[in-house]
Amino acid sequence: MHEEANNSSGSQCGVVVVKQSPAATESLPELVRASGGAASFAWEEFIYGRLRNLGTRRAYRHAIERFLAWCDQRGVELVRIAPAHVGRYLDGLSLAPATKKLHLSALRHFFDELVVRHVMILNPAASVRGERLQVVEGKTPEITVQQARRLLASIDTSHVVGLRDRAIIAVMIYTAARVGAVARLRRGDFFDTGDQHCLRFTEKGTKHREIPVRHDLRGYILDYLAAGGLEFSDKPTPLFRTTVRRTKMLTLNGMTAGDMARMVKRRLRDADLPSHLSPHSFRVATITDLLSHGLPLEDVQLLAGHADPRTTRLYYAQTAEICSG
């Protein structure tokens, strides 16, 4: 009714109100706006067309806007930006080397777009070298097998919230999935192939991978679905849902990665386990455990969803330390 009243009021006044898209209402960086239509088009094409991953879009946009604001404060026009400006800007950042590499990557891709759209002749960030960054081993603390068992056993499963939390943590332990991929699970991503159940994860870059579900994990998920009345819910709906405050009643909304991370912290605290552990600790534990048992690197890489085997090899240092201990 409220929507109909608005439409009626608009027609009486002879005014049609058109809602603008987020891209149209968000302000452009001043240097981009001042450089004309081609620059504005290139900005929106890059931010909303090229960057389809929301996390990457947020990080790249922040990095680019920060650099452009730095240039604007110094009176440097967009088309006058040179490699020296990029280099001096990076030198002045008090950020970790990995974060500086992210900023440089964002600038390189953005200026590539400006070159393609004939806003600039050359990419000023292309010749700027990033800081050398060599990772010897992962920094994420690993949860032990005993601690993982203790955590699962500590959860009160007399209600749907406990069953949900146990299922989420078990998924991360047994599949080595990233918390973001677990948060993206839909009801249809847990399915029966006839002889076993599987989980279909959507990883970074919209890559999909299916992982067979072991019998105890299958039981955890089915118990949660039965308690929440979700056995026959629509396939596109979220698998793991939020609750209405402390009522232990599920909503229609899916838990975010942040929700799951906070839940894990609460469960760790309730189980009197170290507070520095995180959802990624389960992933580290699973990968190092598989490597320590002699599983081929290629198989572990496939399970972990690593695009580059060098990433999987980073866990060998922790595996060697565990075996030697």
pLDDT tens track, the chain, 325 positions: 444 444 434 434 443 333 444 444 468 999 999 999 999 999 999 999 988 888 889 999 999 999 999 999 999 999 999 999 999 999 999 988 888 989 999 999 999 999 999 999 999 999 998 876 554 444 557 788 889 899 999 999 999 999 999 999 999 988 888 899 999 999 999 999 888 999 999 876 667 888 889 999 999 999 999 999 999 999 999 999 999 878 889 999 999 999 999 999 999 999 999 888 888 888 877 777 666 656 566 665 666 565 556 655 555 554 444 444 4
Per-domain residue ranges of the chain: 19-116, 145-324
Residue that is written with structure tokens 């067309």 in the block: 49
pLDDT of residue 208: 81
HSE value, Cβ hemisphere, 13 Å, CA-based, for 298? 0
Asked if residues 271 and 150 have their Cβ atoms less than 8 Å apart, the reply is yes
Residue 136: the pLDDT is 44
Q: What is the pLDDT of residue 139?
A: 57
Q: Which pLDDT value is given to residue 25?
A: 42
| pTM recorded for the entire structure | 0.58
**What is the reported pLDDT for 20?**
42
Alpha helices in the chain (DSSP H): 2-13, 22-25, 30-34, 37-44, 54-73, 83-91, 97-116, 145-154, 160-175, 179-183, 215-228, 257-270, 279-292, 297-304, 309-313, 316-324
Tokens of 141: 């603390």
For 91: left if phi > 0, alpha if psi spans -120 to 50, otherwise beta; the answer is alpha
Q: Output the pLDDT for position 2.
A: 44
Q: What angle do CA 164, 167, 169 make, to 5 degrees?
A: 110
Using DSSP's 3-state secondary structure scheme, residue 144 falls into: coil
Provide the pLDDT for residue 5: 42
Q: What integer pLDDT is reported at residue 301 of this predicted model?
A: 62
The highest-level CATH class for domain 145-324 is: mainly alpha
Q: In what order do the strands lie in the sheet with 208-212?
A: 190-192, 197-202, 208-212
Question: How many residues comprise the chain?
Answer: 325
User: Are 224 and 206 within 8 A, CB to CB?
Assistant: no
Region 19-116: CATH code: 1.10.150
Dist CA 318 CA 107 (whole Å): 35
